[in-house]
Structure 1
Amino acid sequence: MSVNFGAHHFRTEREADWARLEELLDKLEAKSPRRLSDTDLIDLPRLYRATLSSLSIARATSLDASLVGYLEALSTRAYFALYSAREPWGRQIKAFFTTHWPRSVRAIAWELLLSTTLLLLSAFAAYHLVRTDPAWYSAMISPELASGRDMNATPATLRESLYGKPGEAPLEIFATSLFTHNSQVAILAFALGFLFAIPTIILAVQNGAMGGAMFAAFVPHSLGWGLFAWLMIHGTTEIAAIAIASAAGIHIGRAVAFPGDRSRMTAAAEAGRRGAIVMIGVILMLLIAGLLEGFARQLVIDDSARLAIGGGMLALWITYFSFGGRRG
C-alpha cells in the first residue's frame, strides 16, 4: 500500500512537468523550432533535466516498469530534440561558411602562425642548401614530381614548363589528380597530429623544402619570378590550405601534450572537433586550388595575370578568415 501511495505521490508531483515537456516536443517535431516562444525555449532544457531526474529516481526506487518506460521514451525524445541538428541543410551550410569555419580557423591562430613559419623557413633553408650543393635536390624532390625540372634541366626546358601549352592529358584529369594528392597530404597532416604533432611538423617542413628546392633550380636561369607567378596562381590557396591543415594537426598534438586541467582524451576530443570543422573547409580550399592549378594555371600564361589571380585569392582568404563570423 505504501509503495502504491509513494508511486502515486511521485507521479502527481511531477506529472505536470512531463506533460508540458511532451507538449513542447510535439510542437517542436510538428513545426519549426522558430515557432517556439522564448518561454518554450527556456522551459525545454529545464524540463528535460527534470525528467532525467525523475527517471533516475524511478529506476532507483523500482517504480512500475510502465512509468520507467514512459520516462525513458520521453527523455530520449527530448535528447534528440535538444542535441540533434534540426536546422535545414541550407541553413546549416550557410552557418558553416558564415560562422563556424572562419571562427574555428581563428581559434587555431597560434598553430597557424607556427605551421606557416615552418613552411617558409624550410623553403628558405632548402633553397640555400640546394644552391650550395645541388645533390640535395633529388633528395627533396622525386624524379616523378620534378618531371625534368631539375638542376640539370636547360633554361629552355624550364621555361617551357612555365609557359608552354598544356600536355596531352585533359586538364580536368590533371586537376582531379592534383586535388587528390593535395587532399591526402592535408588529411595526413591533420590525422597524425595526435602523435604530439611530430609527423605533422615533419610534413610541413617537407612541403616547404620542396618549394625551396624548386626555386633553386629556376633562379640561376633568371626564371625565379616566372616560377613565383606560376605557383602564385594556385599556391596562395593550396599552401594556405596545407598550412591550415597542419595547424589543425598541431592543435590536436598540443592538446594531447599539454591537456591542462582536462584529461588527455577530453582535450584531444575538443581539439579534434574544432579541427574537423577546419578540415571540411580545407578540402574545399584544395578543390579550388586543384581547379586553379589544373585549369587557370595552364590557360593563363601571362605573369601579371597569374600574380593578379593569386594575389586576389590570397586577399580573399585573409579577409574571410580575419572577419568572417565575427557578428552574432
Structure 2
Amino acid sequence: MNAMSTGTDMAAGQASAIASVALRSDRFRLEREGDWQRLEAIVTRMEKGRLRSLSDEDLLALPGLYRTVASSLSIARETSLDAATLAYLEALVQRAWFVVYGPRSSLWGWLRGFLGGGWSAAVRAMWVDVLVALAVMVAGTLVGWLLVAHDTEWYSALVSPEMAGSRVPGATREALHATLFGQSGRSGMSVFAASLFSNNAQVCILSFALGFALGVPTLLLLVQNTALLGAMLWLYSGKGLLLDFTGWLAIHGTTELFAILLAGAAGLHIGRSMAFPGRRSVLVAAAEAGRRAATVMTGVVLMLILAALLEGFARQLVDHTFGRLAIGGFMLALWCAYFFAFRGNHPRIGKRGRKA
C-alpha cells in the first residue's frame, strides 16, 4: 500500500513539475511573443527581397529586436524552457543574424562589383601613394644599375646565386642569349623564373604587411627588389641583349611589377594615413586606409596568379622578342586603362563618406 502511495505521489510530482515548466514557458512566450513575431515578419520580408515594403520604423527597430530575441534565447537556455520554444528562438536568431550582420551579396555579386569598379576605385583613391611607389621603384632600378656598373661585386650582393644561375658578370653573350631563347620545348618554368616569381610575391606581401611602420620598410623593400632588376638589366645591356631581356621580362613582368607597385602603394597608404591622420584619430585613419588597401591587395593576388600563368606558359610558347613585347605591352595598356580610365558602376565616395 505504501509503495503504491509513493508511486502515486511521484507521478503527481512529475505532473506538477511538467505543468509548472509549461506554465513558465507559456508566460515567457506571452510576455515576449510580440517582439518575436515582429522580428520574424521583418526577417521574412528581407529574405524574400521585399525590402521596400518595410517601413523606416521597422528598419530602425531591427537591431534592437535582434538583441531582444537573442537575450530571450539566452534566458530560455538558462531556465530550461520547452524544446519547441528553444528551437524556434534558435532558428529565428540565426536567420536574423544573417540579415543584420551577414554578407549583403553573393560571391558573384561581390566579384562583379569588385571587378566592375571597386578595385580600380580603390587604386585611384591612393594615387599619391602609387606615384611615390613608382618613383621609388624607378630610383631603385637606377641605383642597382649604377652600383653594379661601378663595382661588379655588387651583383652577387643584389642577386642570389640560386636566382642568378648562369646569369653572372663575365658570362658570354651566347650563354646569356641561351637563357632567353630556345626554351619553348621545356615544360614549366625555369629555376630563375620560379625564384623571381617567389621573390616578387614575398615583396608584395611584406610591402603591404609592413606598411604600418609608417611605410619605411615598404620603401626599403621596393628599392631592394628593383635594384635587383637594375643589376639584371645592366648585365644584359653589356652584351647587347637589353631589348631581348626586356621582352623576356615584359611578357609577365608588366603584370608582376604592376602588382608590386600596387602592393607597395597599399603599404605606403596605411603608413601615410597613420603618420598624417588629419582631423581623424590614428585608429580611424588606419582603419579606413586598411579597408581600401585590403581591396587593392585582393586584386594584387589575382594579378600575381595571372603573372604566374603568363610566366609559366605564354613566355615558353612565344620565343621571339617582338611577340613578347607585344604581349607585355598589351597587358600594361590593359592595366593602365582599367585602373585610370575605367570607372565602371562603382559609386564614388564623397568627403563626408556618403555615396555620391
- TM interval, shorter chain, is 0.7 to 0.9
Pick aligned residue for 2:215 from 177, 193, 197: 197
Tell me the alpha carbon deviations over residues 167-198 of structure 1, each in whole angstroms, 9 at most, x when there is no partner: 86x31686776654432221111111111111
Q: Any conservation in 1 of the 2:134–2:261 contact (CA below 8 Å)?
A: yes
1:256 aligns to 2:270 (yes or no):
no
Pick aligned residue for 1:313 from 305, 316, 331: 331
Q: Distance in 2 between matches of 1:209 and 1:177?
A: 16
Q: Distance in 2 between matches of 1:146 and 1:172?
A: 15
Report the more deviating stretch, 252-261 or 115-124: 252-261
Shift in Å at residue 152 of structure 1? 1.4
Shift in Å at residue 159 of structure 1? 0.8
The 3-state SS of whatever aligns with 1:153 is coil
- Paired residue for 1:296? 314
**Gap change, CA 1:90 and 1:41, over 3 Å in 2:** farther
**Gap change, CA 1:236 and 1:179, over 3 Å in 2:** same
- Paired residue for 1:82? 100
Shift in Å at residue 277 of structure 1? 1.5
- Paired residue for 1:278? 296
Q: Any conservation in 2 of the 1:51–1:75 contact (CA below 8 Å)?
A: no
Alignment of 1:234-253 (within 5 A): 234-253=252-271
- Paired residue for 1:104? 122
Q: TM-score, normalised by structure 1?
A: 0.80
Q: Any conservation in 2 of the 1:104–1:274 contact (CA below 8 Å)?
A: yes
Q: Distance in 2 between matches of 1:90 and 1:176?
A: 32
Pick aligned residue for 1:171 from 181, 184, 188: 188
Tell me the alpha carbon deviations over residues 2-36 of structure 1, each in whole angstroms, 9 at most, x when there is no partner: xxxxxxxxx99x9988754431212223x2xxx31
**Gap change, CA 1:213 and 1:273, over 3 Å in 2:** same
Alignment of 1:84-233 (within 5 A): 84-165=102-183, 170-171=187-188, 179-233=197-251
**Gap change, CA 1:138 and 1:280, over 3 Å in 2:** same
Q: Distance in 1 between matches of 2:155 and 2:190?
A: 28
The total of aligned residue pairs comes to 304
Shift in Å at residue 306 of structure 1? 0.6
Q: Any conservation in 2 of the 1:125–1:212 contact (CA below 8 Å)?
A: yes
Pick aligned residue for 2:61 from 47, 53, 58: 47
**Gap change, CA 1:110 and 1:17, over 3 Å in 2:** farther
Q: Distance in 2 between matches of 1:131 and 1:179?
A: 25
- Aligned-pair identity in percent equals 43
Q: Distance in 2 between matches of 1:176 and 1:93?
A: 29
The 3-state SS of whatever aligns with 2:238 is helix
**Gap change, CA 1:172 and 1:150, over 3 Å in 2:** closer
Q: Any conservation in 1 of the 2:45–2:51 contact (CA below 8 Å)?
A: no
- Paired residue for 2:12? none
Q: Any conservation in 2 of the 1:48–1:75 contact (CA below 8 Å)?
A: no
When the two chains are superposed, the root-mean-square deviation of aligned CA atoms in Å is 3.3
Shift in Å at residue 43 of structure 1? 4.9
Q: Distance in 1 between matches of 2:237 and 2:189?
A: 30
Letter in 2 for 1:289: A
**Gap change, CA 1:171 and 1:92, over 3 Å in 2:** same
**Gap change, CA 1:298 and 1:307, over 3 Å in 2:** same
- Which of the pair has the greater relative contact order for Cα pairs under 8 Å at 6+ separation? 1
Q: Distance in 2 between matches of 1:44 and 1:199?
A: 50
Q: Distance in 2 between matches of 1:222 and 1:44?
A: 73
The 3-state SS of whatever aligns with 1:237 is helix
Letter in 2 for 1:124: L
Tell me the alpha carbon deviations over residues 101-139 of structure 1, each in whole angstroms, 9 at most, x when there is no partner: 121111211111111111111102221222222222112
Letter in 1 for 2:223: V
